[in-house]
Chains A and B, each alone.
Chain A
Amino acid sequence: MEKTVKSYCLKIPGQTDNLEVIRNFVASVAKKVGFDGEEVNKIELAVDEACTNVIEHAYQSDERQNIDIAVKIDYNKFTVVVTDRGKGFNMQDIELPDMKSYLAEIRVGGLGIYLMKTLMDEVDYHSEPGVKNEVRMVKYCLKKNKKKKNATRNNDCCSA
């Protein structure tokens, strides 16, 4: 069976005033493939958080650097890949906050990765600092453990 992967790409300067453009881009594609409002909101927020991290940490607000955002749709899998060429990090070193303690201690910052992992079905990260760093986030159109009866390639929600 022929496998169709559709891609949508955006290359944009890493500036915070471009975050809205980025959100609109991923939200538009997510709506086009059939995600409902709540799922679109989750996707745009997760991508915003990833891109904000790139701007503030990978690029340390160097506006000359670009961010690549690629959206790939493959059957029921909606993948967003955010790529930068800045200072990388090891995601294994990042400890996700326990929200109870976070709120009790009134901490500030550090919620971006927590949100990404909570909002998306899969998040992984590959880093070659100074060369290429990628955050890959996946949202499935159908729940992994629950499939629509008689779902066909034409009727599932990831149809672009």
Chain B
Amino acid sequence: MRVRTDDEAITFDVAALLAVGRFTEALVPAALQADRLEVIPRSLTFLAEIVRRGGVAYAARLAEPLPTPEQTELVRPWLAEPLPVPEQTEPLPAPEQTELVRPLSRPSAPASPPGWPAAAGVDDERLARWLDGVAAIIEARRLTAR
């Protein structure tokens, strides 16, 4: 069974993943990093509503998108503008060909790695759903983690 542990996932660069449209891969790392800072799920849900109604750019200008300075420092890069969108040329590789453990840092993250989906552009609804998803995973962890 191919497994990626939380210890690996928490090291991923969430902003870099979002910048290249890899929302799904960024879900768990974001939830783990937020959970470590005791982010309350509903505060992310509220932020998602702000993104949905006011747009990412509006949310990014908030003084405190999340309640504490540490949480704000964590989430602010997530609200950055995505990188330019190149043409999509290849489909997402099947998991068999995908290296699941792939820690990223901003300097080493290309705008559009070959074989990976490109960013879909500025999409407020997509980011809002993603924030809702991060909140749901935090909630699931707190309900069922052992």
Pair from one complex: no
Q: Which residues of B contact A (CB under 8 A)?
A: none
